[in-house]
Amino acid sequence: MTTSEQFAGRVAMVTGAGSGIGRASALAFAARGVAVGVCDVNAEGGKETVSLIESVGGKALFLHTDVASGDAVREAVDTIVASYGGLHFAHNNAGTFAMALTGELSEADFTRVLNVNLLGVFLCMRHQIPRMLEAGGGAIVNTASIWAHTGMPTQAAYVASKHGVAGLTKTAAIEYAAQGVRVNAVSPGYIETPMTAANPPDAVAAILSRQPIGRAGQPEEVAAAAAWLCSDEASLITGAVLNVDGGYLAH
């Protein structure tokens, strides 16, 4: 079966799809013939992603989704299933960060980051998995980070959340492997996105100096990895946290 054949007629949900990695992932699924539920709190960005997909003949709909709200996530999943007849793939990618030393990080900022990055991934899987079981199986990819494997000064909340994403991914993978739902994660290194553009130049330089490939990554490179993890070529892979980091974690 060709790649286009295995994706044809399938349905995906992508969070944080209004820009960056999420937009690239939504476009990658659509290019493979998948109908995409484009989820984001940024309506302008999300609708632009839908327009990009439709402009090349793909199918997509925008859903205003706060992943930290269980009701909002459930409504998005239900709408996708009602619109396209099922749910087979998901890329839970929505994320945020707060920059401060641990002793100076506010409780509000810590909670906000954990709610989006970790609770959000849990809520998405909580509502996606039953729908995938109804469809006879599926594949989920969560966005972790190189910071799911190590520490980073001034990023206590982000690092904690991404360690949690890796743990959630592995646990769900064990729980649902026998029922045909595979759950994996990607761990991007430094990727050029609107979110990473907010990092101080010296911090970016320090990260890039440790990426042996010698450059920043592009959103499309992470999206390609996510799409591959959902494909039949990755049928034996579940519970993996795949580094897409230009060799950063090989040190």
Residues tagged active-site: 158
21: left (phi over 0), alpha (psi -120 to 50) or beta: alpha
Which tokens go with 186? 């990607």
Residue in 84, 93, 85, 183 with CA at minimum distance from that of residue 129: 183
85: left (phi over 0), alpha (psi -120 to 50) or beta: left
Residue in 115, 138, 143, 118 with CA at minimum distance from that of residue 128: 138
Residue in 223, 240, 238, 248 with CA at minimum distance from that of residue 52: 223
Tell me how far apart the alpha carbons of residues 43 and 240 are, in angstroms, rounded to a whole number: 32
